[in-house]
Amino acid sequence: MVQVESYSGYRGAERPISFLFQGRRFMVDEVERSWVEDEADLRAHKRIFIVTTRDGARFKLSYSERTDTWWLEEL
């Protein structure tokens, strides 16, 4: 799990703005790609974002609508 600050419009967590990882705050410079996947129970969706931070690092951030939880993977 990771703590993410996101822009939330009418659909909830629409895009990440910043996140905390290993005690450091990363600012999202660009969302390179985003898509939606069905979760296992098919009653909720998972939003996936490939992001680049201001310092050039790339991450995959995933948001579960069902659990209201963010996950992070370094790329």
- Reported pTM: 0.86
Q: How confident is the model at residue 1 (pLDDT cuts 50, 70, 90)?
A: confident
d(Cα 45, Cα 40) in Å, to the nearest integer?
9
pLDDT at 7: 86
pLDDT tens column, 44-74: 789 999 999 999 999 999 998 888 899 999 9
The model's pLDDT over 6-38, given as tens digits with 9 standing for 90+, comes to: 987 766 668 899 999 999 999 999 999 999 988
- Residues 72 and 13: their CA atoms lie apart, in Å, by 15
